[in-house]
C-alpha cells in the first residue's frame, strides 16, 4: 500500500542555478547530486532539513523523460512562469518572508490572510511559482472558502 510521497519533481531550466537558488536562497539541503551512467541524466535532489522523508528533484526538461519537442515546450512554460510547483510550509511567515526576501527571493505576493492561513507567493529562478504558507491551527470543515 502507498505509505506517502517520497520524491516530487520540479522542472528547472539550469541545474547549477537551481541548486544555488534552492540551497542558498531557500535554505534547503542537497540530498543527491549525481549523474546516471556515463553522459547520462543528472539526478539532483534537495529537501528541508526537518523533513528527511521528502526530496524535491530539480529536473531539467529533456531525455529520457521527454522527447525534444516536449522538452522545449515545457521549458517555455517554465520560463513563462505559468507552472505552480507546490506549497512550502512555515510556522513564522512574517519572519521567514523577510529573511527570504533579504536573500533575493522574488515574491509575487506579500503575506495575505486567507481562510486556510497566511500565504505569500514566490517565484524560483526558473519561473515556477510556489505558495509559502503558514496554516491556521484549526480549519472549520464547513467554512465557505470562497473558491466557487
pLDDT digits (tens, 9 = 90+) for 17-73: 999 999 999 999 999 999 987 778 899 999 999 999 999 999 999 988 899 999 999
- 3-state SS of the chain: helix, strand, coil percent to 5? 25, 35, 40
Structural domains in the chain plus CATH codes:
7-61+79-135 (3.10.180.10)
DSSP of 34-57: EESSTT--EEEEEE-TT-TT-EEE
pLDDT digits (tens, 9 = 90+) for 113-144: 999 999 999 999 999 999 999 998 765 566 55
Alpha-carbon distances of 65 from 41, 61, 126, rounded to whole Å: 10, 8, 19
Alpha-carbon distance of 129 to 48, in angstroms, equals 18
pTM: 0.88
Dihedral sign for Cα atoms in the order 8, 47, 68, 123: positive
pLDDT digits (tens, 9 = 90+) for 88-109: 999 999 999 999 999 999 999 9
Helix, strand or coil, per DSSP, at residue 89: strand
Amino acid at each position: 500500500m502507498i505509505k506517502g510521497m517520497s520524491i516530487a519533481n520540479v522542472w528547472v531550466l539550469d541545474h547549477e542555478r537551481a541548486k544555488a537558488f534552492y540551497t542558498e536562497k531557500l535554505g534547503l539541503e542537497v540530498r543527491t547530486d549525481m549523474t546516471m551512467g556515463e553522459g547520462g541524466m543528472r539526478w539532483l535532489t534537495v529537501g528541508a532539513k526537518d523533513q528527511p522523508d521528502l526530496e524535491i528533484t530539480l529536473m531539467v526538461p529533456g531525455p529520457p523523460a521527454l522527447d525534444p519537442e516536449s522538452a522545449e515546450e515545457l521549458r517555455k512554460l517554465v520560463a513563462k512562469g505559468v507552472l505552480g510547483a507546490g506549497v512550502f510550509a512555515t510556522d513564522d511567515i512574517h519572519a521567514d518572508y523577510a529573511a527570504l526576501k533579504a536573500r533575493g527571493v522574488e515574491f509575487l505576493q506579500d503575506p495575505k490572510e486567507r481562510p486556510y492561513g497566511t500565504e505569500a507567493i514566490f517565484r524560483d529562478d526558473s519561473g515556477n511559482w510556489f505558495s509559502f504558507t503558514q496554516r491556521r491551527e484549526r480549519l472549520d470543515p464547513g467554512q465557505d472558502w470562497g473558491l466557487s
